[in-house]
Amino acid sequence: MGRLQGRSAIVTGGARGIGAAIARAYAAEGARVVIFDLDRTRAESTAAEIGAGCEARHIDVSSEAAVEGAFVALQADGFECDLLVNNAAVQREGALADQTVDDFHVVVGTNLLGTFLASRAALRGMLERKRGVIINLSSVLGLTGDALLPIYAATKHAILGLTRSTAVAYAASGIRCVAICPGDVDTELNQQYFSSQPDPGAFRARLEREYPAHRMAQPEEIARIAVFLASDDASFINGSHVLADGGIMARLFDLYE
Protein backbone atom coordinates (compact mmCIF):
# COMPACT_ATOMS: atom_id res chain seq x y z
CA MET A 1 0.00 0.00 0.00
CA GLY A 2 1.32 3.43 -0.93
CA ARG A 3 2.12 6.10 1.63
CA LEU A 4 -0.66 8.33 0.27
CA GLN A 5 -3.26 5.63 -0.26
CA GLY A 6 -6.82 6.92 -0.07
CA ARG A 7 -5.87 10.60 -0.09
CA SER A 8 -6.78 13.23 -2.64
CA ALA A 9 -4.26 15.78 -3.89
CA ILE A 10 -4.31 18.93 -5.98
CA VAL A 11 -1.04 19.91 -7.67
CA THR A 12 -0.98 23.38 -9.22
CA GLY A 13 1.27 23.83 -12.21
CA GLY A 14 1.19 20.06 -12.57
CA ALA A 15 1.44 19.86 -16.34
CA ARG A 16 5.23 19.80 -16.50
CA GLY A 17 8.47 19.94 -14.55
CA ILE A 18 8.41 19.58 -10.77
CA GLY A 19 4.61 19.66 -10.68
CA ALA A 20 4.26 16.79 -13.13
CA ALA A 21 6.86 14.78 -11.23
CA ILE A 22 4.96 15.34 -7.97
CA ALA A 23 1.63 14.40 -9.56
CA ARG A 24 3.22 11.24 -10.91
CA ALA A 25 4.80 10.35 -7.57
CA TYR A 26 1.61 10.99 -5.61
CA ALA A 27 -0.42 8.79 -7.95
CA ALA A 28 2.20 6.04 -7.62
CA GLU A 29 1.80 6.26 -3.84
CA GLY A 30 -1.96 5.74 -4.09
CA ALA A 31 -3.34 9.27 -4.12
CA ARG A 32 -6.09 10.54 -6.37
CA VAL A 33 -4.55 13.54 -8.13
CA VAL A 34 -6.02 16.58 -9.84
CA ILE A 35 -3.68 18.80 -11.85
CA PHE A 36 -4.44 22.51 -12.07
CA ASP A 37 -2.68 24.23 -14.96
CA LEU A 38 -3.13 27.08 -17.42
CA ASP A 39 -1.86 24.85 -20.25
CA ARG A 40 -4.90 22.66 -20.89
CA THR A 41 -3.30 20.48 -23.58
CA ARG A 42 -0.16 19.73 -21.62
CA ALA A 43 -2.10 19.13 -18.39
CA GLU A 44 -4.43 16.67 -20.07
CA SER A 45 -1.48 14.91 -21.67
CA THR A 46 0.31 14.57 -18.33
CA ALA A 47 -2.84 13.29 -16.63
CA ALA A 48 -3.40 10.75 -19.40
CA GLU A 49 0.18 9.57 -19.10
CA ILE A 50 -0.22 9.10 -15.33
CA GLY A 51 -3.42 7.20 -15.94
CA ALA A 52 -6.33 6.19 -13.72
CA GLY A 53 -6.68 8.31 -10.64
CA CYS A 54 -5.33 11.49 -12.24
CA GLU A 55 -7.26 14.21 -14.01
CA ALA A 56 -6.55 17.71 -15.28
CA ARG A 57 -8.41 20.98 -14.82
CA HIS A 58 -7.73 24.10 -16.88
CA ILE A 59 -7.24 26.68 -14.10
CA ASP A 60 -5.56 30.07 -13.86
CA VAL A 61 -4.45 30.09 -10.23
CA SER A 62 -4.17 33.89 -10.25
CA SER A 63 -7.95 34.14 -10.77
CA GLU A 64 -10.05 34.07 -7.61
CA ALA A 65 -13.16 33.06 -9.54
CA ALA A 66 -11.35 30.22 -11.32
CA VAL A 67 -9.82 28.79 -8.15
CA GLU A 68 -13.02 29.07 -6.11
CA GLY A 69 -15.05 27.57 -8.94
CA ALA A 70 -12.66 24.66 -9.32
CA PHE A 71 -12.85 23.74 -5.64
CA VAL A 72 -16.65 23.98 -5.65
CA ALA A 73 -16.84 21.74 -8.72
CA LEU A 74 -14.47 19.18 -7.23
CA GLN A 75 -16.40 19.09 -3.98
CA ALA A 76 -19.59 18.50 -5.94
CA ASP A 77 -17.84 15.51 -7.53
CA GLY A 78 -17.01 14.11 -4.09
CA PHE A 79 -13.37 15.20 -4.16
CA GLU A 80 -12.01 16.23 -0.76
CA CYS A 81 -8.61 17.88 -0.93
CA ASP A 82 -6.35 16.24 1.66
CA LEU A 83 -3.10 17.42 0.05
CA LEU A 84 -2.41 20.67 -1.76
CA VAL A 85 0.86 21.33 -3.57
CA ASN A 86 1.25 24.98 -4.56
CA ASN A 87 3.76 24.60 -7.36
CA ALA A 88 2.50 26.89 -10.13
CA ALA A 89 5.12 29.53 -10.91
CA VAL A 90 6.30 31.84 -13.65
CA GLN A 91 9.27 34.16 -13.94
CA ARG A 92 10.25 37.22 -15.94
CA GLU A 93 14.00 37.66 -16.36
CA GLY A 94 15.56 41.10 -16.09
CA ALA A 95 17.27 43.45 -13.67
CA LEU A 96 14.89 45.42 -11.46
CA ALA A 97 15.33 48.69 -13.35
CA ASP A 98 14.23 46.93 -16.55
CA GLN A 99 11.15 45.20 -15.11
CA THR A 100 7.64 46.47 -15.81
CA VAL A 101 4.52 46.70 -13.71
CA ASP A 102 3.08 43.96 -15.93
CA ASP A 103 6.06 41.74 -15.05
CA PHE A 104 5.33 42.35 -11.39
CA HIS A 105 1.62 41.54 -11.62
CA VAL A 106 2.14 38.40 -13.73
CA VAL A 107 4.80 36.90 -11.46
CA VAL A 108 3.16 37.90 -8.17
CA GLY A 109 -0.26 36.87 -9.46
CA THR A 110 0.78 33.32 -10.26
CA ASN A 111 3.43 32.63 -7.65
CA LEU A 112 2.10 34.38 -4.55
CA LEU A 113 -1.56 35.20 -5.15
CA GLY A 114 -2.05 31.74 -6.65
CA THR A 115 -0.58 30.13 -3.53
CA PHE A 116 -2.83 32.25 -1.32
CA LEU A 117 -6.00 31.53 -3.32
CA ALA A 118 -5.50 27.77 -3.55
CA SER A 119 -4.52 27.52 0.11
CA ARG A 120 -7.54 29.50 1.25
CA ALA A 121 -9.90 27.35 -0.81
CA ALA A 122 -8.33 24.09 0.35
CA LEU A 123 -8.32 25.14 4.01
CA ARG A 124 -12.11 25.34 4.18
CA GLY A 125 -12.50 21.63 3.62
CA MET A 126 -9.42 20.74 5.63
CA LEU A 127 -10.80 22.63 8.63
CA GLU A 128 -14.09 20.73 8.39
CA ARG A 129 -12.28 17.40 8.30
CA LYS A 130 -9.56 18.40 10.81
CA ARG A 131 -6.76 17.16 8.60
CA GLY A 132 -4.67 18.19 5.62
CA VAL A 133 -1.23 19.09 4.33
CA ILE A 134 -0.27 22.11 2.25
CA ILE A 135 3.13 22.03 0.54
CA ASN A 136 4.39 25.26 -0.95
CA LEU A 137 7.18 25.33 -3.51
CA SER A 138 9.56 28.12 -2.58
CA SER A 139 13.15 28.12 -3.81
CA VAL A 140 16.73 28.83 -2.85
CA LEU A 141 15.68 32.26 -4.11
CA GLY A 142 13.38 32.38 -1.11
CA LEU A 143 16.57 32.51 0.94
CA THR A 144 18.84 34.61 -1.28
CA GLY A 145 18.63 36.81 -4.37
CA ASP A 146 19.29 36.79 -8.11
CA ALA A 147 20.19 39.87 -10.14
CA LEU A 148 17.90 38.85 -13.01
CA LEU A 149 14.98 37.41 -11.03
CA PRO A 150 14.10 40.10 -8.47
CA ILE A 151 10.32 39.68 -8.58
CA TYR A 152 10.49 35.90 -8.65
CA ALA A 153 12.82 35.95 -5.63
CA ALA A 154 10.47 38.31 -3.80
CA THR A 155 7.55 35.91 -4.27
CA LYS A 156 9.59 32.96 -3.08
CA HIS A 157 10.60 34.85 0.08
CA ALA A 158 6.94 35.73 0.65
CA ILE A 159 5.86 32.11 0.22
CA LEU A 160 8.02 31.15 3.20
CA GLY A 161 6.27 33.77 5.32
CA LEU A 162 2.90 32.49 4.16
CA THR A 163 3.97 28.92 4.96
CA ARG A 164 4.95 29.78 8.53
CA SER A 165 1.81 31.83 9.14
CA THR A 166 -0.45 29.08 7.78
CA ALA A 167 1.30 26.47 9.89
CA VAL A 168 0.94 28.29 13.20
CA ALA A 169 -2.68 29.26 12.49
CA TYR A 170 -3.95 25.77 11.73
CA ALA A 171 -1.70 23.26 13.49
CA ALA A 172 -4.23 22.79 16.28
CA SER A 173 -6.79 21.84 13.62
CA GLY A 174 -4.65 18.95 12.36
CA ILE A 175 -3.34 20.81 9.33
CA ARG A 176 0.34 21.12 8.43
CA CYS A 177 1.97 23.58 6.04
CA VAL A 178 5.54 23.15 4.86
CA ALA A 179 7.73 24.41 2.04
CA ILE A 180 10.39 23.01 -0.26
CA CYS A 181 13.28 25.21 -1.39
CA PRO A 182 14.86 23.56 -4.43
CA GLY A 183 18.03 24.74 -6.06
CA ASP A 184 18.21 24.65 -9.84
CA VAL A 185 16.11 21.85 -11.32
CA ASP A 186 16.31 20.61 -14.90
CA THR A 187 12.92 21.93 -16.04
CA GLU A 188 11.50 24.07 -18.84
CA LEU A 189 11.40 27.04 -16.46
CA ASN A 190 15.15 26.80 -15.99
CA GLN A 191 15.63 26.37 -19.71
CA GLN A 192 13.76 29.65 -20.11
CA TYR A 193 16.23 31.27 -17.71
CA PHE A 194 19.21 29.88 -19.60
CA SER A 195 17.74 31.12 -22.87
CA SER A 196 17.75 34.67 -21.52
CA GLN A 197 21.56 34.55 -21.50
CA PRO A 198 23.81 35.37 -24.50
CA ASP A 199 25.19 31.80 -24.55
CA PRO A 200 22.63 29.47 -22.90
CA GLY A 201 24.82 26.36 -23.08
CA ALA A 202 27.84 28.04 -21.57
CA PHE A 203 25.70 29.64 -18.88
CA ARG A 204 24.18 26.29 -17.92
CA ALA A 205 27.62 24.70 -17.71
CA ARG A 206 28.87 27.56 -15.56
CA LEU A 207 25.85 27.28 -13.25
CA GLU A 208 26.26 23.53 -12.85
CA ARG A 209 29.92 23.98 -11.93
CA GLU A 210 28.78 26.05 -8.94
CA TYR A 211 27.07 23.02 -7.41
CA PRO A 212 29.33 20.74 -5.33
CA ALA A 213 28.11 17.74 -7.36
CA HIS A 214 28.40 19.76 -10.63
CA ARG A 215 24.79 19.11 -11.63
CA MET A 216 21.25 20.36 -11.21
CA ALA A 217 18.48 18.36 -9.59
CA GLN A 218 16.02 16.25 -11.54
CA PRO A 219 12.30 16.90 -10.94
CA GLU A 220 11.87 13.41 -9.50
CA GLU A 221 14.30 14.23 -6.69
CA ILE A 222 12.06 17.07 -5.55
CA ALA A 223 8.95 14.90 -5.97
CA ARG A 224 10.32 12.33 -3.52
CA ILE A 225 10.64 15.06 -0.90
CA ALA A 226 7.05 16.13 -1.59
CA VAL A 227 5.86 12.55 -1.03
CA PHE A 228 7.66 12.35 2.31
CA LEU A 229 6.30 15.72 3.49
CA ALA A 230 2.74 14.74 2.55
CA SER A 231 2.97 11.41 4.32
CA ASP A 232 2.49 10.49 7.97
CA ASP A 233 6.25 9.99 8.18
CA ALA A 234 6.49 13.81 8.33
CA SER A 235 3.69 14.26 10.87
CA PHE A 236 5.73 16.57 13.15
CA ILE A 237 7.27 18.70 10.39
CA ASN A 238 5.34 21.94 10.23
CA GLY A 239 6.02 25.59 9.45
CA SER A 240 9.51 24.93 8.12
CA HIS A 241 11.20 24.36 4.79
CA VAL A 242 13.30 21.59 3.31
CA LEU A 243 16.34 22.93 1.46
CA ALA A 244 17.01 20.69 -1.55
CA ASP A 245 19.90 22.54 -3.13
CA GLY A 246 22.63 19.94 -3.63
CA GLY A 247 24.77 21.81 -1.12
CA ILE A 248 25.17 25.03 -3.12
CA MET A 249 24.26 27.23 -0.16
CA ALA A 250 26.63 25.40 2.16
CA ARG A 251 29.55 27.48 0.91
CA LEU A 252 30.17 31.10 0.06
CA PHE A 253 32.29 30.46 -3.04
CA ASP A 254 34.78 27.88 -4.29
CA LEU A 255 38.46 28.84 -4.03
CA TYR A 256 39.91 25.44 -4.82
CA GLU A 257 39.17 24.56 -8.44
Contact 149, 91 (CB under 8 A): yes
Count CB atoms within 10 A of the CB of residue 51: 9
- 256 tagged catalytic: no
Contact 18, 185 (CB under 8 A): yes
Q: What stretches of the chain adopt beta strand conformation (E)?
A: 8-12, 32-37, 54-58, 83-86, 132-137, 175-182, 241-244
Contact 28, 229 (CB under 8 A): no
Q: In what order do the strands lie in the sheet with 8-12?
A: 54-58, 32-37, 8-12, 83-86, 132-137, 175-182, 241-244
Contact 243, 140 (CB under 8 A): yes
Hey, what's the torsion of the CAs at 63, 147, 19, 126, to 10 degrees?
-50
| Main-chain phi, psi angles of 47, to 5 degrees | -65, -40
Distance, in Å, from the CA atom of 153 to the CA atom of 173, rounded to the nearest integer, reads 31
Contact 229, 248 (CB under 8 A): no
The active-site residue, picked from 26, 152, 170, 193, is 152
Contact 10, 85 (CB under 8 A): yes
Which residues are known to be catalytic? 152
